[in-house]
């Protein structure tokens, strides 16, 4: 484990059953930083996140989190260690109220009632609009509000690493800016490490500290987000021939 990294992915190969999607993927995430994983559709971005989260088995390679090997740890164990994961398309319980969603987000954390209440109020302080709409059914929230609720759920276990899969999908540009400002504040104000998957390049580069570029399931470039020539590398990757995810 390199000194200072909260996450280190080393030569990881993974996929679905007999189908290998990502091969020999390596990258690191530093504490209190945002690492963006970029690539066109089919590059293996979501597969990478699902593998790091423990939702897919690792065929080869290793994952180290907060100086501890977790290669064989199941998803629920990684959550307890300090993972937060917001999957694509705002995975909230749309027939439940905002507050019920937050309560369900603490399922199996083993918290006492008073601590659960404290964390709910913490969510409302972080996202005031959720406090205003605490009794509203989540399915009637705007897309941006649902995304904030999904992030609030993922933060209930007070993770050290927050993973976000395409948080801007389906949102108006003004709402995307609001969501990304929230992501930036989690890094700047709360010292959270963020692993961000984004299809929108400029959106990601606007908040990222470092970038991992994937193509056809392999890392083709890693760099600071302000590296000269990075946009050209990304553009070439996005313009490559289509691949199967």
| pLDDT value of position 3 | 53
Average pLDDT rounded to a whole number, residues 76-102: 90
pLDDT tens, residue by residue, 209-219: 999 999 999 99
| pLDDT value of position 169 | 84
* More confident position, 123 or 111: 123
**What proportion of the chain, given as a percentage, has pLDDT over 90?**
77
| pLDDT value of position 245 | 46
| pLDDT value of position 2 | 47
| pLDDT value of position 173 | 86
Contact yes or no for 240/40 (Cβ under 8 A): yes
| CA-closest candidate to residue 149, choices 138, 163, 135, 165 | 138
The model's confidence at residue 242, banded by pLDDT at 50, 70 and 90, is low
φ/ψ bin of 69: left (φ > 0), alpha (ψ from -120 to 50), beta (otherwise): beta
**What is the chain's mean pLDDT, rounded?**
91
The whole-angstrom distance between residue 222's C-alpha and the CA centroid of its chain comes to: 18
| pLDDT value of position 198 | 87
pTM value > 0.75: yes
pLDDT tens, residue by residue, 189-231: 999 999 999 888 999 999 999 999 999 999 999 999 999 999 9
**Which residues, 6 or more positions from 190, have their beta carbon under 8 angstroms from its beta carbon?**
none
Average pLDDT rounded to a whole number, residues 233-242: 78
In order of their start, the domains of the chain are: 1-82+159-245 (3.40.50.300), 91-158 (no CATH)
Q: How does DSSP classify residue 14?
A: E
Distance between CA atoms of residues 7 and 128, nearest Å = 31
Q: Two tokens at 170?
A: 């389906």
Burial class (CB in 10 A: 0-12, 13-18, 19+), 226: exposed
pLDDT tens, residue by residue, 127-154: 999 999 999 999 999 988 999 999 999 9
The model's confidence at residue 1, banded by pLDDT at 50, 70 and 90, is very low
Contact yes or no for 163/155 (Cβ under 8 A): no
Q: How does DSSP classify residue 143?
A: H
């Amino acid at each position: 484990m390199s000194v200072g990294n909260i996450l280190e992915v080393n030569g990881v190969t993974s996929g679905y059953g007999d189908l290998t999607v990502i091969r020999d993927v390596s990258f690191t995430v530093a504490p209190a930083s945002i690492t963006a994983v970029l690539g066109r559709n089919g590059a293996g971005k979501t597969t990478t996140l699902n593998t790091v989260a423990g939702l897919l088995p690792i065929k080869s390679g290793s994952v180290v989190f907060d100086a501890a090997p977790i290669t064989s740890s199941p998803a629920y164990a990684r959550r307890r260690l300090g993972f937060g994961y917001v999957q694509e398309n705002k995975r909230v319980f749309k027939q439940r109220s905002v507050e019920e969603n937050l309560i369900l987000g603490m399922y199996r954390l083993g918290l006492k009632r008073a601590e659960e209440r404290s964390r709910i109020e913490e969510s409302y302080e972080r996202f005031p609009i959720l406090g205003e709409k605490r009794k509203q059914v989540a399915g009637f929230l705007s897309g941006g509000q649902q995304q904030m609720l999904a992030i609030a759920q993922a933060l209930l276990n007070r993770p050290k690493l927050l993973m976000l899969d395409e948080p801007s999908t389906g949102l108006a540009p003004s709402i995307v800016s609001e969501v990304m400002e929230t992501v930036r504040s989690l890094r700047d104000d709360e010292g959270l490490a963020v692993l961000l998957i984004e299809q929108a390049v400029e959106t990601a580069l606007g908040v990222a500290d470092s970038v991992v570029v994937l193509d056809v399931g392999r890392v083709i470039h890693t760099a600071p987000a302000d590296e000269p020539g990075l946009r050209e590398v990304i553009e070439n990757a996005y313009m490559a021939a289509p691949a199967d995810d």
